[in-house]
Structure 1
Amino acid sequence: MENGPLPETREVLCEHLLAKVRYLNPALADQVTDMLVVNISNKEIIDLLTSDAFLEENVEKIVASISEPDSELRESLGMSLFQAVSVLESELCAQVTGMLLELPIPTVTRLLSDVEALKEAVNKARNEYLRFVKGGDHTTGVPSAPPVPLSNEKEELGEVIYEKIVSKYPSEAAKLTGMLLQMDYKDLVRVIAEPELLMKKVELAVSVLRAECENQS
């Protein structure tokens, strides 16, 4: 019996690096790894793999360099954050997630990798939101501006999304719908109008949801 071709050395190194980066920053692991390995040699990748401190320093630099994420990255962060927040705050999950997404991207990724920091941020955001809806002041400084609940239009889109995915994901449809509702309204409309794009976004949300469940088990 013949064995298949061995994987290329660089491919193996990148897979190991991705696994280590995912531990440090699960939300941005793929993007950070791609940025780490561009224009460096295999020896330099090995240096990153053999020194946790050196790797962490480089990961932090790359995350800090991401000042304004593109729409795809924003969606990925929003989905990861929604799943993490939903464990701590189910009732106001969408509102709290929206508030935390207004924080700088490096801060959001830190919250995703630090449960205690996330708990503190969720509590502050929840209290801020409740003060807002009750007409109180805004002194915690968690978001740059208080959010509003989901609009009627978004709620209607949420019902459409739920109906389209509940047969395939009956136990996860509600949470997946909530994750997708973190997208901008105009993007939601486009996604619903294109079945293939909708399923692509749903599958991305499913992968994030199940990865979070595996990490918690």
Structure 2
Amino acid sequence: MEDEEDLEMLGEQLYNLIYPRHMDMAGKLTGMLLELPSSVLAEMLRNETMLTKAVEKALGALSSFDYTSNMGRQGEDEVSVSSDSLGEQLYQLVDVHNTGLTEKITGMLLEQKKEEVQKLLSDPGLLEERINMALETLKEDNSMETDISDSSDPDDPERLGERLFQAVQEIDAKNCADITGMLLEMDSKTLKQVLCDHTMLEQAVQKAQSVLVLDGLDAPKL
């Protein structure tokens, strides 16, 4: 009961902040933002920049897809929506949830049939449920990868190199080969720690990127 009262209070505060700038859409925008975790909403109330960005994302989602016209009456007889368009709309709605994995989650959700994707676009509650399921799946996949790395030969440079290249490619596709080569100079124990800790990996990649900039290795090749 307290959670419902807290959410209602957050909703009123959000609405009061959004209304002056978006009178006609304040209700819709507030409803979309209320799908976010309470901790995120509380931070938005303290951080005007964060709130502005979230409202802009929600506005983008609304402008690319007629949100109200699809509430409760999405059907196959409506005008067909292209896969690219669905993907863009879904990406914007997923991005509002600030998971940090918008691209991966959107890709996972787009594997469903078009009708299912259209339901997600018109039902914020269902979308949030599917996003949470996708997050759990990604966590499980990451755990399995960690188990595999623990059971493999720690001194197998080829195995480590392959996994490291794939991980670095997601962060910096342009310079992944150069960065992987630099990181492979570390001992196998440190490499395994980097592969199991995304924060450590990002820090290692950033250091390597700095070296590349200094050396001019990332300059366009003629």
Alignment TM-score, normalising by the size of structure 1: 0.34
Higher RCO, 1 vs 2 (CA within 8 Å, ≥6 residues apart) = 1
Report the TM-score, using the length of structure 2 for normalisation.
Answer: 0.34
